[in-house]
Amino acid sequence: MRYALLVQGAPYSSQASHSALRFASGLLARGHVLEAVFFYHDGVYNAARLAAPPQDEPHLYDAWCELHQAHGTQLQVCISAALRRGLLDEREALRHGKSGHSVEAPFELTGLGQLIGLGQEVDRLVTFAP
């Protein structure tokens, strides 16, 4: 089966992100395909490359990057939710006159149209929310 995940919870204030990663590992171990993860609402904080959690906590940003590297899973971030929360990639930082950026590949800023397309392309779209 082909899956996509919708993550709506921030990485360290809810269990949504951690649960989504564990679910992703389980379905990939069973031979399913994970096409993409779409980060929405506070879930966009998963794409913040400057996050530096304590060493005794899982580094969820790195875990998402490893998922992408190992399986080619797209990591899509809602652009409007990200900009509203101060998360910009280099292109958007230049466009808005900001001096730095906090989102970079493999995370990609996209619109809600991508989420709708995902829902039509995959067999299952599973939501993880706080």
Distance, CA of 121 to CA of 115 (rounded, Å): 10
Token code pair at residue 113? 């149209």
Q: Which of 78, 87, 88, 115 is catalytic?
A: 78
Distance, CA of 108 to CA of 104 (rounded, Å): 7
Helix (H, G, I), strand (E, B) or coil at 81: helix
- Whether 65 is a known active-site residue: answer no
Percent helix, percent strand, percent coil in the chain, to nearest 5: 40, 20, 35
How many residues comprise the chain?
A: 130
Q: List, by residue number, the catalytic residues.
A: 78
